[in-house]
């Protein structure tokens, strides 16, 4: 197959092919598409069953062997921190930060994709890396914004932009190194964030691997949460009937219960968020390198081969979902005939054992955004009837401009 260059055409082409070829086929000479739900689950489980963090380049340069650190150890450190952060106090602080950031832009005519990106990233940054100066936070944010712009921009960046990008990336990396080192030497207080566990692990991990681990989290909060928030606004604007249902629920919800456990406190809103994540799962394609031989029956992956996964294509698979292109949060009502047939069909946060560690806090953030939209702000969008979603590295609403004012 000749691969169309535009990401949108590419995605449409592989969706059509996936339907015709049962979800598993060579997308081109080097990449196997694994878009069948059960196969995606199995290949992920096998591929990452013993994933170890190496320091290969540094080991080679220094002619040494660094200690192996298992990825499961890294994940369990993140999950422990996130569990401690899952309280009314910390979740409430996240929602308050979102409100403050939106308040700064009240009444302005804004690009809503950039605004939601800013709100999602700046409110989540202290969860990943806190206790940093405004200047340090600015550098980290600029690095993440540049990474994201490169991914969502329809045109490739020029040479100067690329050089600036590398410069910002290096300086942002220096911030992370400095924070970890100073915390380790008692020159900065320890924090309840996703970087802190690696201060204790520094002697085993070394600074390069610790930086990689913290960068993984920073990159994870720099992309999907913001694009998911933009998609949420997009569906919110397009569905006044759901705006009404959500407002009814959220105006009556107990604020403390909402901060503690929003998915229980506001089930209608939870269904709305789940449906947004089903239709518009970011990122649209995940590229993975295979580590062990894997037999799919009709074809095989060998170690070193590449494969593609896509929550988006699984969520749009007509064999799994009735009318998959229709936005209908009620498919998540228990027993709904158009709901997910089983757990492998709904995978907005990916697959074990690499599944997104931020799934819960990411959901809290999106539900908090719904509450702000329904109870605090009034959103007006330019030409809502012309709204259209572009498919880049993630779904991105095009020409999505508008303003938020207080109700």
Q: Which residue has the tokens 């604020």?
A: 255
Build a one-symbol-per-residue string for 120-159: x at contacts with ligand HEM by CB under 6 A, - elsewhere.
Answer: ----x--xx-------------------------------
Nearer to ligand HEM, 1 or 287 (CB): 287
Which residues, including other chains, have CB under 8 Å from residue 352's CB and lie 6 or more apart? 41, 44, 45
Stated length of the chain? 407
Candidates 61-69, 219-227, 247-255, 259-267; binding stretch for ligand HEM (CB under 6 A): 219-227
Residue closer to ligand HEM (CB basis): 35 or 403:
35
- Of 222 and 403, nearer to ligand HEM (C-beta) is 222
Instruction: Check residue 373 for interaction with ligand HEM (CB under 6 A).
Output: no
Write the secondary structure of 256-308 as one string of H (helix), E (strand) and C (coil).
Answer: HHHHHCHHHHCHHHHHHHHHHHHHCCCCCCEEEECCCCEECCCCEECCCCEEE
> What is the footprint of ligand HEM within residues 28-57 (CB under 6 A)?
44
Cα–Cα distance, 82 to 124 (Å, whole number): 12
Q: In a 10 Å sphere around its CB, with 0-12 CB exposed, 13-18 middle and 19+ buried, how is residue 191 labelled? A: middle
Tell which one of 23, 33, 224, 395 touches ligand HEM (CB under 6 A). Answer: 224
Question: How many Cα atoms sit within 13 Å of 244 on the Cβ side?
Answer: 3
Residue (173 or 358) nearer to ligand HEM, CB: 358
Please tell me the distance from the alpha carbon of residue 295 to that of residue 368, in angstroms, as a whole number.
43
Q: CB of 74: closest distance to ligand HEM in angstroms?
A: 7
Among positions 60-99, residues that touch ligand HEM (CB under 6 A) are: 75
Residue 351 is a binding residue for ligand HEM (CB under 6 A):
yes
Identity of the residue, 29 or 89, whose beta carbon is nearer to ligand HEM in the bound complex: 89
| Tokens describing residue 12 | 């449409």
Q: Is 286 in the site for ligand HEM (CB under 6 A)?
A: yes
Give helix then strand counts, H and E, for the chain: 17, 13
Q: In the set 225, 324, 368, 402, which binds ligand HEM (CB under 6 A)?
A: 225
Residue 262 lies near ligand HEM (rule: CB under 6 A): no
Q: What's the gap between Cα 205 and its chain centre?
A: 25
Structure tokens at 188: 């900065």
Residue 349 touching ligand HEM (CB under 6 A): yes
Q: How far is the CB of 95 from ligand HEM (least distance, A)?
A: 13
Position 354 contacts ligand HEM (CB under 6 A): yes
Residues 6+ apart with CB under 8 A from 339: 331, 332, 333
- In whole angstroms, give the CA distance from residue 304 to residue 154: 30
* Binding flag, residue 357, ligand HEM (CB under 6 A): yes
Residues 6+ apart with CB under 8 A from 353: 44, 45, 48, 49, 51, 71, 72, 75
Least distance to ligand HEM, CB of residue 225, Å: 4
**Given the rule CB under 6 A, which of 10-18, 171-179, 204-212, 345-353 is the region that contacts ligand HEM?**
345-353
Burial of 132 (0-12, 13-18, 19+ CB in 10 A): buried
Instruction: Name the residue with the smallest CB distance to ligand HEM.
Output: 358
Q: Which is nearer to ligand HEM, 340 or 403 (CB)?
A: 340
Distance CA 385, CA 238 (A): 8
Q: Which of 130, 216, 260, 263 binds ligand HEM (CB under 6 A)?
A: 216
Nearer to ligand HEM, 213 or 250 (CB): 213
Provide, rounded to whole angstroms, the least separation between the CB of residue 124 and ligand HEM. 5
CB of 4 to ligand HEM, least distance (A): 24
Q: Which of the ranges 4-12, 238-246, 251-259, 352-360 carries the binding residues for ligand HEM, by CB under 6 A?
A: 352-360
Stretch that binds ligand HEM, among 95-103, 107-115, 222-230, 313-321 (CB under 6 A): 222-230
Q: CA torsion sign, 117 to 368 to 343 to 73?
A: positive
What CA–CA distance (Å, rounded) separates 28 from 2? 8
294-313 footprint of ligand HEM as x/- string (CB under 6 A) = -----------------x--
Write the Ramachandran bin of 62: left for phi over 0, alpha for psi from -120 to 50, otherwise beta.
alpha
Exactly one of 361, 374, 381, 404 binds ligand HEM (CB under 6 A); that residue is: 361
Where are any strands of DSSP class E within 86-148? 110-111
Binding site for ligand HEM (CB under 6 A): 44, 75, 124, 127-128, 216-217, 220-221, 224-225, 228, 277, 282, 286, 311, 348-351, 354-358, 361-362, 366
């Amino acid at each position: 197959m000749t691969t169309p260059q535009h990401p949108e055409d590419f995605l449409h082409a592989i969706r059509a092919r996936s339907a015709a070829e049962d979800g598993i086929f060579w997308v081109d000479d080097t990449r196997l598409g694994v878009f069948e739900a059960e196969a995606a689950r199995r290949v992920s489980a096998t591929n990452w069953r013993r994933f170890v963090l190496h320091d290969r380049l540094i080991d080679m340069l220094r002619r040494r062997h660094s200690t192996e650190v298992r990825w499961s150890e890294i994940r369990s450190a993140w999950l422990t921190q996130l569990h401690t952060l899952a309280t009314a106090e910390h979740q409430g602080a996240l929602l308050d930060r979102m409100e403050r950031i939106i308040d700064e832009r009240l009444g302005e005519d804004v690009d809503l994709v950039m605004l939601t990106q800013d709100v999602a990233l700046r409110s989540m940054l202290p969860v990943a890396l806190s206790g940093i100066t405004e200047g340090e936070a600015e550098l980290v944010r600029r690095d993440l914004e540049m990474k994201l712009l490169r991914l969502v921009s329809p045109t490739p960046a020029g040479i100067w932009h690329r050089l600036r990008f590398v410069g910002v990336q290096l300086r942002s990396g220096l911030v992370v190194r400095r924070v970890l080192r100073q915390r380790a030497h008692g020159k900065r207080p320890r924090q309840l964030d996703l970087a802190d566990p690696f201060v204790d692990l520094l002697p085993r991990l070394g600074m390069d691997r610790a930086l990689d681990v913290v960068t993984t989290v920073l990159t994870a909060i720099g992309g999907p949460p913001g694009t998911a928030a933009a998609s949420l606004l997009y569906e919110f604007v397009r569905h006044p009937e759901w705006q009404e249902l959500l407002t009814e629920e959220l105006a009556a919800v107990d604020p403390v219960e909402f901060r503690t456990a929003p998915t229980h406190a506001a089930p209608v809103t939870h269904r709305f968020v789940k449906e947004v994540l089903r239709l518009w799962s970011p990122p649209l394609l995940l590229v993975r390198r295979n580590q062990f031989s894997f037999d799919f029956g009709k074809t095989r992956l060998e170690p070193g081969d590449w494969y593609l996964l896509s929550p988006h294509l699984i969520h749009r698979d007509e064999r799994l979902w009735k009318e998959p292109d229709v936005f209908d949060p009620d498919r998540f009502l228990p027993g709904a005939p158009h709901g997910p047939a089983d757990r492998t069909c709904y995978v907005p946060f990916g697959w074990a054992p690499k599944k997104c560690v931020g799934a819960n806090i990411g959901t809290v953030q999106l539900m908090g955004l719904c509450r702000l939209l329904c109870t605090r702000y009034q959103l007006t969008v330019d030409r809502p009837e012309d709204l259209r979603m572009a498919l880049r590295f993630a779904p991105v609403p095009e020409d999505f401009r508008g303003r938020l004012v207080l109700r």
